[in-house]
Amino acid sequence: MASLFVAAKALHLRPSDVCAFRNPSPSAFARAGRVSLVAATSRRSSKPFASFSASTDTSVKEAVETDKAPAALGPYSQAIKANNLLFVSGMLGLDPETEEFVSDDVGNQTEQVLRNIGEILKAGGADYSSVVKTTILLADMNDFNNVNAIYAKYFPSPYPARATYQVAALPKDAKIEVECIAAL
């Protein structure tokens, strides 16, 4: 087992990650998706070793699209499914039917952004509770508290990990843009 922890350290894995695979439940490897850590022993030695692999198979990459959210403004997908994760592109507060902002108010744009994300999550087989990471881009950091109040209505506890930045400008002069990653 000590060799397994040495290998895990070289792979920058936590000991708890390795222990989960030492005596895995039947679903542990299914949850791991295309990335897996497997403990084994070689025929020449009884010492265990670790094998780490990640899929480079592009067939595991699938675009997710819905007409219930605004179309991408450029050469990107609304979302991509890959390796049991759903990566939702940055969304603006655009009405999906008109492709125009619902208003100039950051609160209204935030509500629309989160509704748009909800539709994409649903199309990808996820929901707000599946989200593990969000990134919020704000045109004005003074809107932080207002955005937080609205954000808290959509994401249940435990809340996703999150980063929030003020940026110089957003596409179409939006007040807010949000992207996220959900576990499937």
Q: What pLDDT digit, counting tens, does each position of 114-165 carry?
A: 999 999 999 999 999 999 999 999 999 999 999 999 999 999 999 999 999 9
CB 35 within 8 A of CB 53: yes
Mark residue 38 as left, alpha or beta (left: phi above 0; alpha: psi -120 to 50; beta: remaining).
beta
DSSP 128-143: GGGEEEEEEEES-GGG
- Helix, strand or coil for residue 144? helix
CB 140 within 8 A of CB 101: no
Angle between helices 15-22 and 2-10 (to 10 degrees): 130
| Token pair of 6 as six digits | 């040495």
**CA distance between the termini of the chain:** 31
pLDDT, position 91:
98
**Residue 32: pLDDT over 90:** no
Q: With bands split at pLDDT 50, 70 and 90, how would you rate the model's confidence at 49?
A: low
Q: What percent of the chain has pLDDT over 70?
A: 68
pLDDT, position 14:
54
pLDDT, position 60:
85
Place of tokens 């290998």: 7
CB 102 within 8 A of CB 93: yes
- Of 1-5, 44-48, 56-60, 168-172, give the lowest mean pLDDT range: 1-5
The mean pLDDT value for 15-36 works out to: 47
Q: CA angle at residue 32 from 84 to 123, to 5 degrees?
A: 15
Of 72, 170, 86, nearest in space to 133 by CA: 86
| Token pair of 19 as six digits | 């222990």
**Residue 29: pLDDT over 50:** no
- Angstrom distance (rounded) from CA 128 to CA 155: 6
pLDDT, position 8:
47
